[in-house]
């Protein structure tokens, strides 16, 4: 009956204690019966029974009878569905016991628990009178306490022993199965042997520990704290029941996987300066002259005014454009490595660049000759080039976001 039920008490006391401890489990059985029934709530109890959904039929009928106890059709359906449900469950138990598989004790236990809960749901309605037949509906009730206790004891012993066998294999998949079986042990008997210790052991063996780190394979020195900044990524939201991510390596800890930012190309271009000259011109008014006739006299218009001829001149301005450029590039791969086998299980290319450019303008000549858009650029001055390390740090910031997105999208790679 499990180590948490003392042996020096009466059987009746053991039954009471057992019921107390199994109450949450039995409640789950009741909830399961209810859920199954709710899914079929659109069908009548009779249709449910004919389709073989006996517990659904029982739920439907009892629900109606709670409101009105004289519905003979529901009473007859309840009587028949209850009998058929119990017959099917008893046949299942007989088969499982004959089959003799120790792992079946959990199913035997839940079947007995379901039978017990089924009759508990009906008892409050009794008696149910079938007036047209001059009788009360018949329901066979039994006390399944002893069977439940024995099935629980056998299931507990089996799952505990089988979990230890799985843990001795010392691999993740078996450890995770062992963990689930130990949880069943704990649901049956909270303090059974050293179940908590074994749960911790199963959790440790079954969990995949992942280290996120960086490697500079280029031979090019990186800015101070570059690696710390790049690996300063929060991966806590990726932690699951069986996967734990770490961004800081702990001495003495073994990691099952490594996610490696493998730097393969780091380059800062020379400072580029290119000068371009161009000239802009404009024709502007430049006074006037008088129109003369063939005799050299000033010509008049019809109003008697002197005829004037506008004069123009062309002005120009030479513009010097200075184009400054500098580029920093970081490229490599994000590698997923199984540390237990040394296998590269996935790799994704990563690259980021930081580009500096500036255009400066100087003018020589008549500024009035410039187009408005050209004149607006004259305020642009040459700028000092940013240091290469600063550009690499900025490129690293972009790369950091890219790496985080890839890890999130590849969450299913490690499990």
- Kindly report, residue by residue over 55-102, the tens digit of the pLDDT: 999 999 999 999 999 999 999 999 999 999 999 999 999 999 999 999
Residue 50, domain member (yes or no) = yes
Q: Note whether 244 and 323 are same-domain residues.
A: no
Q: Note whether 85 and 33 are same-domain residues.
A: yes
**How does residue 31 score in pLDDT terms, banded at 50, 70 and 90?**
low
Strands, DSSP E only, in 183-229? 208-216
How much is the pLDDT for 1? 42
Residue 88, domain member (yes or no) = yes
**Six-digit token pair at 204?**
């440790």
**How does residue 2 score in pLDDT terms, banded at 50, 70 and 90?**
very low
Q: Note whether 118 and 105 are same-domain residues.
A: yes
Q: Note whether 17 and 155 are same-domain residues.
A: yes
Note down the domain range covering 241: 207-267
Residue 337, domain member (yes or no) = no
pLDDT at residue 385 above 70? yes
> Lowest-confidence range among 1-5, 276-280, 315-319, 399-403?
1-5
Residue 179, domain member (yes or no) = no
How much is the pLDDT for 52? 94
The tally of domains found in the chain comes to 3
Neighbours of 268 (CB within 10 A): 19
Average of pLDDT values for 124-141?
95
Residue 199, domain member (yes or no) = no
| Strand 257-268 to 243-246 pairing | unpaired
**How does residue 228 score in pLDDT terms, banded at 50, 70 and 90?**
confident
pTM over 0.75: no
Task: Tell me the C-alpha distance between 302 and 169, whole Å.
Answer: 119
> Lowest-confidence range among 224-233, 307-316, 366-375?
224-233
How much is the pLDDT for 24? 52
Residue 304, domain member (yes or no) = yes
Domain boundary among 95, 129, 159: 159
> Lowest-confidence range among 13-27, 205-219, 303-317, 371-385?
13-27
Q: Note whether 293 and 245 are same-domain residues.
A: no
Q: Note whether 30 and 127 are same-domain residues.
A: yes
Q: Note whether 263 and 288 are same-domain residues.
A: no
Residue 354, domain member (yes or no) = yes
**How does residue 11 score in pLDDT terms, banded at 50, 70 and 90?**
very low
Q: Note whether 111 and 48 are same-domain residues.
A: yes
Q: Note whether 375 and 323 are same-domain residues.
A: yes
Phi, psi values for residue 166, rounded to 5° = -65, -40
Share of the chain above pLDDT 90, in %: 77
Q: Note whether 104 and 47 are same-domain residues.
A: yes
Q: Note whether 242 and 107 are same-domain residues.
A: no
Helix H or strand E segment including 230: helix 226-230
**How does residue 34 score in pLDDT terms, banded at 50, 70 and 90?**
low
Q: Note whether 155 and 26 are same-domain residues.
A: yes
Residue 65, domain member (yes or no) = yes
Domain boundary among 124, 159, 194: 159
């Amino acid at each position: 009956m499990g180590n948490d039920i003392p042996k020096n008490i009466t059987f009746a006391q053991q039954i009471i204690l057992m019921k107390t401890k199994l109450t949450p489990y039995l409640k789950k059985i009741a909830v399961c019966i209810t859920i199954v029934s709710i899914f079929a709530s659109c069908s009548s109890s009779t249709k449910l029974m004919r389709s073989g959904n006996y517990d659904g039929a029982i739920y439907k009928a009892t629900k109606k009878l709670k409101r009105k106890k004289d519905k003979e059709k529901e009473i007859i359906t309840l009587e028949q569905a209850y009998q058929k449900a119990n017959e099917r469950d008893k046949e299942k138990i007989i088969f499982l016991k004959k089959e003799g598989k120790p792992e079946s004790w959990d199913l035997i236990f839940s079947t007995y628990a379901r039978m017990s809960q089924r009759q508990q749901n009906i008892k409050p309605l009794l008696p149910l009178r079938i007036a047209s037949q001059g009788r009360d509906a018949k329901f066979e009730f039994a006390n399944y306490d002893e069977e439940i206790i024995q099935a629980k004891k056998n299931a507990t012993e089996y799952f505990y022993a089988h979990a230890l066998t799985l843990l001795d294999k010392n691999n993740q998949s078996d450890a995770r199965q062992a963990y689930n079986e130990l949880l069943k042990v704990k649901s049956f008997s909270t303090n059974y042997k050293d179940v908590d210790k074994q749960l911790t052991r199963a959790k440790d063996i079954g969990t995949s520990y992942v280290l996120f780190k960086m490697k500079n394979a280029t031979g090019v020195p990186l800015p101070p704290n570059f690696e710390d900044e790049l690996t300063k990524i929060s991966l806590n939201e990726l932690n699951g029941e069986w996967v734990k991510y770490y961004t800081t390596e702990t001495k003495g800890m073994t990691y099952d996987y490594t996610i490696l930012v493998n730097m393969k190309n780091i380059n800062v271009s020379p400072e580029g300066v290119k000068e371009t000259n161009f000239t802009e011109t404009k024709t502007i008014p430049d006074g006037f002259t008088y129109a003369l006739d063939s005799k050299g006299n000033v010509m008049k218009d019809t109003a008697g005014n002197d005829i004037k001829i506008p004069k123009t001149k062309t002005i120009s301005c030479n513009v010097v454009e200075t184009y400054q450029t500098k580029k920093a590039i970081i490229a490599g791969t994000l590698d997923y490595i199984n540390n237990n086998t040394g296998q590269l299980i996935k790799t994704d290319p990563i690259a980021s660049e930081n580009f500096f450019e500036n255009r400066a303008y100087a003018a020589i000549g008549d500024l009035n000759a410039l187009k408005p858009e050209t004149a607006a650029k004259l305020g642009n001055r040459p700028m000092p080039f940013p240091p290469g390390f600063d550009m690499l740090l900025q490129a690293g910031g972009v790369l950091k976001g890219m790496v985080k997105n890839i890890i999130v999208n590849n969450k299913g790679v490690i499990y």
